Amino acid sequence: MILVDTDILIDAARCIKDAVNCLQQIEDTSSLAISAVTQMELIIGCRNKKELKSLEHFLQRFELISLNKQISVTAAALLKTYRLSHGLLIADALIAATAVVSSSRLVSKNQKDYRFIEELDLIEYPKLNL
């Protein structure tokens, strides 16, 4: 299972070739998943009910990983370790923790937001090494 970061899904919705190809490559070899944080970030981006309905349809192809105590504890530990030194943000900590706790690899366009997290198995984007 590969956890997909919000930025790639936004690009895929805009039909950006790298993002669309990324999702297709992952589906060819693995399963797609998102964090509940990504789901919430995408909902926030909807401007009306039609966009929300379209988003709900789009997200059906992903396994949704809900937040739980272990993810919360791991995210807090990541923030303690990386907030001051690297500027780790809450949403990114929760997404990274979701990947770590679920033993998933993470693919993100924003490599700089995650590359310093030693516990994380980060996939290079747009060049995927699956």
Sorted by where each begins, the domain ranges of the chain are 2-123
Enter the CATH code of domain 2-123. 3.40.50.1010
Q: Decide which of 6 and 130 is more confident.
A: 6
Verdict on whether the full-model pTM lies above 0.85: yes
130 — pLDDT class (breaks 50, 70, 90): confident
Tell me the H-state helices in the chain. 6-13, 17-29, 36-45, 49-58, 69-86, 90-101
For range 47-59, the mean pLDDT: 96
pLDDT of residue 44: 96
- 129 pLDDT higher than 80: no
What residue type is assigned to position 17 of the chain? K
The pLDDT of 21-48, averaged and rounded, is 96
pLDDT at 128: 82
